[in-house]
Amino acid sequence: MTTPTPRPRATARASRGAPARHGVTFPRVLAAEWTKLTSVASNSWLALGTIAAAALTAYGLGIFVRTADGRSGSWVVVSGFLFAQLGFLVLGATVGTSEHTTGTARVTFTAVPRRLPVLGAQVVVTTVAAAVTATLALGASYLATIGPRAGEAPALDLTVPGTTRVLVCFVVVGAALALLGLGLGALLRRPADAIVTGVVLVFLLDFFLQGVPGRVTDTVRAFLPSAGRRLLEDDAAVAAADAATQGLQLGVGGGGAVVGGWMVVVLAAAAYRLRRHDVR
């Protein structure tokens, strides 16, 4: 008489108390990137510095603006974007280079071998962080300019064509510049290289070309990322700028398309390098 052999239950018993493993998912990658962003104290200080720069610049410029100067109240509120945009660029560049400067790139991309979900998660967290920072900066600038706008500076009038767009695009363009910085950071992989390149593209080239106006230089200026700043001008100011230029007249939509195009192209180049080249 043979005794039946019982089926092994060790595997089943061992697996009952073990946590289920679902592998790499985008929500997990997103949570990891958000933790990286918020756990670094310097990022919080950068956001606070960007908010303070926007508010203080808007207040300082608002003091000297008069109604007869042809400026609008919306320009007074968003004028702090002149320096705040540097903060958005640095934020994006910091996120884009973080894996390479901390030496965790190999660990991260071993855990996420497809790589692109990491860049996608960085796009999401950078957009959220930049949008929140820009919204707070806009609110701080509005409060900081209450005094000047109640005095000699023009009042904020939402009935002026383009005013609502200007306020909304303060947040939109801020997020776009942060994504441009992210793309440069992921592409160049060094914070200094990414920040310097961003400053040249957004600030210096436009500044130098503005000093030598002409058909060629004005056309080049129209296709720089700085063209996105026309989204922060009301309809009358955009019309006046287009009338004065010797190059292409892109209008508001054209300025938005230019900065959006730069953002997409740089991020696409970063994605290509991330997918095809080694990481260190």
pLDDT at 240: 86
pLDDT at 241: 84
pLDDT (tens digit, 9 = 90+) per residue, 28-41?
889 988 998 999 89
* 126 inside domain: yes
**In contact, 247 and 219? CB cutoff 8 Å:** yes
Output DSSP code: residue 102.
Answer: T
Q: In this predicted structure, which of 20-29, 37-46, 161-170, 202-211 has the lowest mean pLDDT?
A: 20-29
Token digits of residue 36: 């990286």
* 12 inside domain: no
**Average pLDDT value over all residues in the chain:** 87
pLDDT at 14: 42
Full residue range of the structural domain in which residue 135 is found: 26-276
What average pLDDT does the segment 252-264 reach? 92
Asked whether the whole model's pTM tops 0.85, one would answer yes
- Helices vs. strands in the chain: H and E counts, helices first: 14, 0
**In contact, 58 and 79? CB cutoff 8 Å:** yes
pLDDT at 136: 98
* 15 inside domain: no
Would the pLDDT of 127 be above 70?
Answer: yes
Q: Which of 255, 258, 250, 247 is nearest to 219 (CA)?
A: 247
- What is the count of structural domains for the chain? 1
* 156 inside domain: yes
SS3 per residue for 218-269: HHHHHCCHHHHHHHHCCHHHHHHHHHHCCCCCCHHHHHHHHHHHHHHHHHHH
CA dist 98 and 109 (Å) reads 13
